[in-house]
Structure 1
């Protein structure tokens, strides 16, 4: 892997900024093409939000996690993953502030989102327990905790599908839903003249652009951690997690603007589940033993705040008529407060 530690701090910051811009642009365009492909292939919005959109917007996290693990920076890997969970959940609060009528959690018509969030809390709690007792390698340097947690995403998807098909739960006293038929991400591009093969090809090109930019993000963040006094954990939780969450931010805000509120929620919860699944490839790339055994107090603190913000939104979904404050739900204000306090806490710990 290229070493950027020899570059000056302004040069590394410039590389980081350029890579972040590329991630933002490519992530937005990839979501547009992905939505067009889904429409062409008659895929459901639920699939787009929870599986497809969550997966493609996680590409920066995938490549940065793998790259940071290869350069043996466990603090950056764990900070990016666990801090990213709180960061991405806070994106829902931003959508509530700027793009949602009524409270965001007043809109879901099904309990599916609450179920997925509860399972996410269970997995995060198990992860926190593993960081306290330490992971144990069973295959080379790969830990049993990493293997078990990586199975959480397909397990939750299977549980969600079965629950969604059998549940007779029905909400009452809901706000009027926006029935807009617009695409998930608004665009001036007309995809009707493009064939399916062209759509897939261009989506692949944007995926490669995100992969390349994500690698630059990880390498520049690793260099910044060494050149500054902030430390790998704080850089991973704040700067790197924010940059790699740009695709989630752009797609979630776009979904909320057109009234696809449940799609926005599914995108974030799905992204957080995939974040936990990344522990296994990170463990495989990190050669100094199970990576979860390197979790420090900062990583454990990030996991705890991830549990808190997810639980707050579960409560909001169950209450349904969430109290509003200045146009946004009280739960979103609480989530944003927890996120800001977590940044301050991690800075002090660092």
Structure 2
């Protein structure tokens, strides 16, 4: 990539972003259909499949950066991706909600609060793991990375258990919220695919092709973008936390808009929280592939991004509790707060020195 002109690099970057957007839509649709037909919707398998599918760009970038030992890009992409994907909820609130009410008012439930709490808990483990000794590694594994993966699995189990019912009024769902059950849009997509005569084998083939396109585009967008924006004076961590994180959040935007327009507001929020909970698990991937202690080598800017991601998540958790009714510029007060905090956070990130 270093020998290519900047204009060519820009074309590659934009083309890969478009490919990630298109493949992300196909991944979302086929994942929903496969989850319904394989009866994964109410099992952990469906959640894992969806989390992996929507985060394939981040997975590809993390793997590529780890193999190249460009750990600052990998870490910045993971932690910056959590903050950027949380901001996707601002876009869904402003553009994807039909009723004149904030997204958190329509989606409020205790299960979503648990999902948000899982994200915050994982980020706290990330911070704690950065303080461990660098030489605390065996068989290409570190305690922090393993604990994150274990905590993610336990958290998913508890969230799915909560989704089956809680000992609260309305089963943990807020009154006057989304009337149809969470995930009804997945059933609708499967019904449409059946009417169109799409066989399970065909759907699976489309899923695999879209996954390959996403993986290849993810690697190319990271390499072309790092070279291009590096020439323009942007550091690796700032690039990974902003431009790259925004580009790899395109699948979440497309799938979230589809969910909100179909009235599945809880699924839209759940997909964002679920994807954010999965991203720290990629530290285990980065550790295994690089053979290095990724988290103990984290920079000050990485810890800063971790705090920013947790702060934005707590802001939306607060919105789920208080359920604001009014909108301003088509956004709820919580979305406005998240947008302001994110902008201030990125400005602060540029000032953080490693």
Shared fold (TM-score, shorter chain, > 0.5):
yes
Q: Partner residue of 1:115?
A: 114
Once the two structures are overlaid, the 10-residue window that deviates more, 160-169 or 67-76, is 160-169
Q: Partner residue of 1:8?
A: 5
Q: Which residue, out of 217, 221, 225, partners 2:221?
A: 217
Shift of 1:268: 0.5
Deviations along 1:169-206, whole A, 9 cap, x unmatched?
23454246368868677999776312111111111111
Once the two structures are overlaid, the 10-residue window that deviates more, 129-138 or 157-166, is 129-138
The correspondence of residues 230-269 of structure 1 with structure 2, limited to 5 A, is 230-269=234-273
Shift of 1:47: 6.6
Shift of 1:290: 0.4
Whether 1:88 and 2:52 are equivalent positions in the alignment is no
Q: Partner residue of 1:308?
A: 311
Whether 1:158 and 2:161 are equivalent positions in the alignment is no
Contact 2:324–2:333 (Cα < 8 Å) also in 1: no
Whether 1:273 and 2:270 are equivalent positions in the alignment is no
Deviations along 1:229-285, whole A, 9 cap, x unmatched?
211001101111111111111101111111110110111111111101110011112
Structure 2, unaligned runs of 5 or more = none
Shift of 1:138: 2.5
CA change 1:191–1:81 in 2 (3 A) is: farther
TM-score, with length taken from structure 1 = 0.90
Deviations along 1:82-122, whole A, 9 cap, x unmatched?
00001001101110011114111112363111011112111
Deviations along 1:113-150, whole A, 9 cap, x unmatched?
10111121111112112224555533144322111112
Contact 2:33–2:193 (Cα < 8 Å) also in 1: no
Q: Partner residue of 1:129?
A: 128
Structure 1, unaligned runs of 5 or more = none
Once the two structures are overlaid, the 10-residue window that deviates more, 172-181 or 111-120, is 172-181
Q: Partner residue of 1:333?
A: 336
Q: Partner residue of 2:166?
A: 167
Once the two structures are overlaid, the 10-residue window that deviates more, 149-158 or 126-135, is 126-135
Q: Partner residue of 1:207?
A: 211
* Aligned-residue RMSD, C-alpha: 2.6
Contact 1:65–1:218 (Cα < 8 Å) also in 2: no
Count of residues in correspondence between the two structures: 346
Whether 1:348 and 2:351 are equivalent positions in the alignment is yes
Shift of 1:224: 3.0
Once the two structures are overlaid, the 10-residue window that deviates more, 51-60 or 256-265, is 51-60
**C-alpha distance in 2 between matches for 1:269 and 1:53:** 12
Deviations along 1:43-97, whole A, 9 cap, x unmatched?
4379798443332111111011110111111111111000000100110111001
Shift of 1:322: 5.1
